[in-house]
Amino acid sequence: MSTMSNPEEADTLAPELPAMFDGMKLAAVATILYVVIRCLNLKSRTEPPQVTCQDTVLSRYLLKSCPLLTKEYVPPLLWGKSGHLQTALYGKMGRINTPTPRGVRKFLPMPDGATATFDLFEALREHRTGGDVTMVICPGIGNHSEHKYIRTFVDHSQRQGYRCAVLNHLGALPNLELTAPRLFTYGCTWEFAAMVDSVKQAYPLTLLVVVGFSLGGNVVCKFLGENPSNQNRVICCISVCQGYSALRAQETFLQWDQCRRVYNFILADNMKKLILSHRSSFLTSSSSIGEVELSRLFAATSLMQIDDAIMRKFHGYSSVKDYYEEESCVQYIHNVSVPLLLVNSCDDPLVHPSLLEIPHSLAEKKPNVMFVLTQHGGHMGFFEGAMLLPHPLTWMDKVIVECVDALCWWEEERPACENQQKDLRTSDVSLTPGLRVIESNLIEDIKLNSAFRI
């Protein structure tokens, strides 16, 4: 039995169908625009970095001498306000128009048979202070001197008169075999210490600027805090985008918030490939890693599983909890007494906001610490630009060199500055108008000296 539609009803519906489809199209376009605006965070305002520090002569001098700390950081308009895109573009693209600085590779035998390597890049001009200053740089997880962000930063630093020494994380360089069954770990400072000692011996008059990116930030802060002698001849330390506590960071990596679990999986996959590329080095009689551990590696989907199966065993930790607690700089960073600049981004998808309480609290308690938090930048991105294409130099590259330049001048005038700081501390009044004039004159003297010597 068949039925037929009423011709009059069909005639009535026909004019309504195009209007209905137009409404659906508009709804689809509106939905897409809403998703794009939300994902790209286009409604977010550009703001100057949030700076947390104690009110000292040094902090006032830095804020006056480093405009990038107080002016708006402006990322590319169309995509730069998304921490995910900043992070992804940094990870895949690195930097644009990346230079290729020429350096010399150094090999350092370690007591356990491993061979540390670092690349040394000489300055391309005299430093503005007329002194000898070397940046000792520790890259991020599994990185080395050939990564694009390191090459860009080194080239910029060389052109400003800095010698650069870049650690190549143990096992990270392609086509370079391990000489002992051990890789770099989250907080092992042995290779970085060997590089610093080598630089000090080769250049007895050089002063050091310690710089760490991501995992490298943890390494350098831990290195300086482990022993007061490690801070000898160090002008300052700058750490960018680190997480401070490995245990707390790994706990947040198991959450789906901000796609952290996805990033965890990607980082774990990269670590698996790196470990398996040295498989033959681990399957030796002197190795703590065997077929059982490597078989567990194949099933790992997170960094914590890899650290438990492989990484903690390089240094004999009984549990992954002990490994994280001992290798995190949060246990040592309070011992750092040189000027310490800690830089993070609010929209870093790899560093949970709860971890930023560590540097914030430290900067409130210690006069040598300054915590700089940008609204945008992602993880190690910090691209700048007007609309679409980013600039070759990032905000991160420029702010590090700008702050180091200022601290080098501060080091030149340190005796006078320390006397002034002592007077301020012993004064009953916080800062009287007279002391403000003295302080202002002191800061201007430093800035004028730097202007005349350039």
Instruction: Judge contact between 170 and 186, C-beta under 8 A.
Output: no
Taking alpha carbons only, the member of 241, 264, 239 closest to residue 348 is: 241
Give me the number of domains the chain comprises.
1
Sheet architecture: strand order including 340-345: 50-52, 369-374, 340-345, 234-240, 207-213, 133-138, 163-168, 115-121, 104-109
Q: Can you tell me the distance from the alpha carbon of 81 to that of 77, in angstroms, rounded to the nearest whole number?
A: 7
Which one from 155, 307, 347, 348 is the annotated catalytic residue?
Answer: 348
> Which residue has better confidence, 352 or 4?
352
Closest C-alpha to 237, from 87, 421, 362: 362
Mean model confidence pLDDT for the chain: 87
Q: Bigger pLDDT: 8 or 390?
A: 390
Taking 90 as the threshold, does the pLDDT of residue 143 lie above it?
A: yes
Q: What is the mean pLDDT of residues 300-313?
A: 95
Asked whether the predicted pLDDT for residue 250 surpasses 80, the reply is yes
Residue 200 within any structural domain of the chain? yes
More confident residue, 36 or 336: 336
The pLDDT assigned to 97 comes to 81
Strands 104-109 and 115-121: antiparallel
Model confidence at 386, pLDDT cuts 50, 70, 90, reads confident
Q: What span, in angstroms and rounded, lies between the C-alpha atoms of 321 and 316?
A: 12
Going by pLDDT thresholds of 50, 70 and 90, the confidence category of residue 208 is: very high
Instruction: Kindly tell me the sign of the dihedral angle through the C-alpha atoms of 440, 445, 447, 451.
Output: positive
6 belongs to a structural domain:
no
Tell me the pLDDT band of 213, cut-offs 50, 70 and 90.
very high
Residue where the block lists tokens 């405009």: 67
Q: So what's the pLDDT on residue 78? A: 84
Q: Give CA–CA dist 238/125, Å, rounded.
A: 22
Q: Which domain holds residue 119?
A: 48-245+328-413
- pLDDT of residue 84 exceeding 70, the answer is yes
More confident residue, 417 or 97: 97
Mean predicted confidence (pLDDT) in 39-49: 80
Catalytic residue at 348?
Answer: yes
Band (pLDDT 50/70/90 cuts) for residue 33 is very low
Q: How confident is the model at residue 31 (pLDDT cuts 50, 70, 90)?
A: very low
Q: Is residue 333 part of a domain?
A: yes
Give the per-residue SS3 of the chain. Answer: CCCCCCHHHHHHHCCHHHHHHHHHHHHHHHHHHHHHHHHHCCCCCCCCCEEECCCCHHHHHHHHHCHHHCCCCCCCCCCCCCHHHHHHHHHHCCCCCCCCCCCEEEEEECCCCCEEEEEEECCCCCCCCCCCEEEEEECCCCCCCCCHHHHHHHHHHHHCCCEEEEEECCCCCCCCCCCCCCCCCCCCCHHHHHHHHHHHHHCCCCEEEEEEECHHHHHHHHHHHHCHHHHCCEEEEEEECCCCCHHHHHHHCCCCHHHHHHHHHHHHHHHHHHHHCCHHHHCCCCCCCCHHHHHHHHHCCCHHHHHHHCHHHHCCCCCHHHHHHHHCHHHCHHHCCCCEEEEEECCCCCCCHHHHHHHHHHHHHCCCEEEEEECCCCCCCCCCCCCCCCCCCCHHHHHHHHHHHHHHHHHHCHHHHHHHHHHHHHCCCCCCHHHHHHHHHHHHHHHHHHHHHC
Q: Mention every residue, 6+ apart, whose C-beta is less than 8 A from residue 173.
A: 117, 144, 146
In a domain, 388, yes or no: yes
pLDDT at 242 (0 to 100)? 98
Report whether 324 contacts 186 (CB < 8 A): yes
Both structure tokens of 3:
């039925």
- pLDDT at 21 > cutoff 80: no
Within-domain flag for 400: yes
- pLDDT score of 23 more than 60: no
Q: What pLDDT sits at residue 55?
A: 96
CATH value at residue 193: 3.40.50.1820
User: CA-based angle 59:133:379, to the nearest 5?
Assistant: 60
- List the structure tokens of 19: 């209007």
Q: Which residue in the list 144, 156, 376, 379 is annotated as catalytic?
A: 379
- Count of positions (residues) in the chain: 454
What pLDDT, in 10s, does the model give residues 157-181?
999 999 999 999 999 999 899 999 9
| Per-residue pLDDT at 392 exceeds 80 | yes
Q: What is the mean pLDDT of residues 32-41?
A: 52
pLDDT band at 433 (very low <50, low <70, confident <90, very high): very low
Shortest CA distance to 40 belongs to which of 78, 76, 74, 75?
78
**Active-site residue (options: 214, 239, 328, 345):** 214
Q: Is the residue at 439 inside a domain?
A: no
Q: Is residue 234 part of a domain?
A: yes
For the chain, what percent of residues have pLDDT higher than 90?
69
Give the model's pLDDT for residue 5.
52
pLDDT band at 398 (very low <50, low <70, confident <90, very high): very high
Quick one: pLDDT at residue 180?
A: 93
Higher pLDDT, 388 or 2: 388
Tokens of 254: 């198991």
Q: Is pLDDT at 449 greater than 70 in this prediction?
A: no
Q: What is the pLDDT of residue 28?
A: 55
345 belongs to the catalytic site: no
CB neighbours of residue 381 within 10 Å: 30
Q: Residue 32 domain-assigned?
A: no
Of residues 435 and 198, more confidently modeled: 198
What is the four-CA torsion angle of 308, 312, 316, 320, rounded to 10 degrees?
-50
Q: Give the residue, 435 or 347, on which the prediction is more confident.
A: 347
